[in-house]
Amino acid sequence: MSTVAIAAVGSRGDVAPLAGLGAALQQAGHRVTIAAYTPFADLIIGAGCEFRELPADFTPGTDHAEASSKELFAAMFAPSGQRDTGQMIIDALGEVPADILLLPPLAELAGHPLAEAQGIPSVGVRMQPISPTADYPPSLLGAWSLGGFGNRMAAGATAWAIDRLYGGVVAHCRRELGLPRASARALRRRRTAADWPILHAYSPNVVSRPVDWRTGLQVTGYWWPPTPVQWQPPQVLGEFLAAGPAPVFIGLGSTVVTAARAEQLAEIIAAGLRQAGVRGIVQSGWAGIDVTGENILTIRDTPHEWLFPQMAAIAHHCGAGTTAAALRAGIPSIPLPGPAGDQPFWAQRLHSLGVAITPLPQRRLTAHRLAAAIRTTLDDADLRETTQRLASRVAGEDGTAAAVTAIEQLLYSSHR
């Protein structure tokens, strides 16, 4: 039996697929330890994995959630914030007798030195495409394209900027672990030359593997979150669903906004649903959005695999996890992407696939535009049929099994 450690840094959309992968690895006979932020303890323990806490909580009502958007961004992405995150990863997983370490992007700065110090292999685990290709720029840069040459140049420039910005974080982690000095740039080149393996947890029917990707980059298919064994819907949610036609889901996931903006969004959503003449279920998310009104119910975290198939349409921020859940359910999306990260990329991808209308960025969101987007989506039979066809293709994949096989092959080769 091998021990697999996963540094699951990120939002629920990042952590839930890793919990699903962890459950599958457990079922295959491995021991799995997952380090994640405090709110995800139940998710990970429920998947049958050992939980190691990264002591931070971004859910509404906590100290982090009450910080300004700039303060929260700094806590997560500024070099000082990444240094703190790196130290949490080292503290959480440094004593785990792991045989392999799985690293999402936000865990790589500390994860690579940790794996090196422990003398074990590591594997990248990504919910979106980031590696250089002529097909598109790194998804974290948005949905635009500069053409083949420009896209590859953008990827190279992004990698250079990351190494410059976070070089001090890498140096700190290496010192903490007693490793010799090495620049972040040199270490990246070393990993690329060694074909460092990266598993991508999305469907090749949604984004195919670029032909110009280097060896070691694999698109496995989605890793579905574990099904909560004990979970039951709150009575008020069950009663709401039974009381009328299928509602429209609206959720902005891990989008972080000020309290004033959250109130403004709540007013826009309530008015938009009313103008569209539909019932709505609103998920409060990290923004803490609370919408009240006739035929509207605000909910907290609810398993998307249970909820989404019961919706008429799914209006969402287009994070990787929510995008996957909407595709799995076979329900058309109304893309409401934020300005940064992979949200614009997934929003445009959904539209290109014919399973969503033209994206409506959050900065342009008004009640009138939201109502129009809802009505356009609900009135488009072709959109629903295309979404259901894609859902059928995705259902035929087993991305988790493919990922388990790849990880076991790496474990086998490292033990020879």
Residue-wise pLDDT for 349-392, tens only, equals 999 999 999 999 999 999 999 999 999 999 999 999 999 999 99
Please indicate, yes or no, whether residues 193 and 328 belong to a single structural domain of this protein: no
Please give the pLDDT value at position 58.
62
User: Does 320 have pLDDT greater than 90?
Assistant: yes
Instruction: Give the whole-angstrom CA distance, residue 6 versus residue 17.
Output: 12
pLDDT-derived band of residue 260, with 50, 70 and 90 as boundaries?
confident
CB count, 10 Å around CB of 212?
12
User: Does 68 have pLDDT greater than 60?
Assistant: no
Read off the pLDDT of each residue in 231-249 and give the average, rounded to a whole number.
Answer: 96
In a domain, 409, yes or no: yes
Please give the pLDDT value at position 145.
86
Please indicate, yes or no, whether residues 209 and 297 belong to a single structural domain of this protein: no
User: Does 233 have pLDDT greater than 60?
Assistant: yes
Please give the pLDDT value at position 64.
46
User: Does 65 have pLDDT greater than 50?
Assistant: no
pLDDT-derived band of residue 200, with 50, 70 and 90 as boundaries?
very high
Please give the pLDDT value at position 8.
98
In the chain, pLDDT over 70 holds for what percent of residues? 95
Tell me, what DSSP letter sits at residue 300? -
pLDDT-derived band of residue 228, with 50, 70 and 90 as boundaries?
confident
User: Does 256 have pLDDT greater than 90?
Assistant: no
In a domain, 229, yes or no: no
Domains: count for the chain: 2
In a domain, 46, yes or no: yes
In a domain, 35, yes or no: yes
Report CA-CA distances (Å) from 405 to 19, 393, 398, 411: 17, 21, 11, 10
In a domain, 227, yes or no: no
Q: Please state the φ and ψ torsions of residue 363, each to the nearest 5 degrees.
A: -65, -20
Sign of CA dihedral 304, 309, 315, 318: positive
Summarised one tens digit per residue, pLDDT across range 327-339 is 999 999 999 998 8
Summarised one tens digit per residue, pLDDT across range 9-26 is 988 889 999 999 999 999
User: Does 59 have pLDDT greater than 80?
Assistant: no
The three-state (H, E, C) secondary structure of 132-196, written as one string: CCCCCCCHHHCCCCCHHHHHHHHHHHHHHHHHHHHHHHHHHHHHHCCCCCCCHHHHHHHHHHCCC
CB count, 10 Å around CB of 396?
9
Summarised one tens digit per residue, pLDDT across range 93-124 is 999 999 999 999 999 999 999 999 999 999 99
Q: Please state the φ and ψ torsions of residue 308, each to the nearest 5 degrees.
A: -60, -40
Please indicate, yes or no, whether residues 196 and 338 belong to a single structural domain of this protein: no
Please indicate, yes or no, whether residues 160 and 271 belong to a single structural domain of this protein: no
Read off the pLDDT of each residue in 191-220 and give the average, rounded to a whole number.
Answer: 98
The helix/strand/coil state of 103 is strand
Read off the pLDDT of each residue in 66-79 and give the average, rounded to a whole number.
Answer: 64
Please indicate, yes or no, whether residues 202 and 266 belong to a single structural domain of this protein: no
CATH number of the domain that residue 42 is part of = 3.40.50.2000
User: Does 288 have pLDDT greater than 90?
Assistant: no
Specify burial of residue 228 (Cβ count, 10 A radius: 0-12, 13-18, 19+).
Answer: middle
What is the domain range of residue 331? 235-395
Summarised one tens digit per residue, pLDDT across range 138-187 is 888 887 888 999 999 999 999 999 999 999 999 999 999 999 999 999 99
In a domain, 228, yes or no: no
Please indicate, yes or no, whether residues 172 and 62 belong to a single structural domain of this protein: yes
Tell me, what DSSP letter sits at residue 353? T
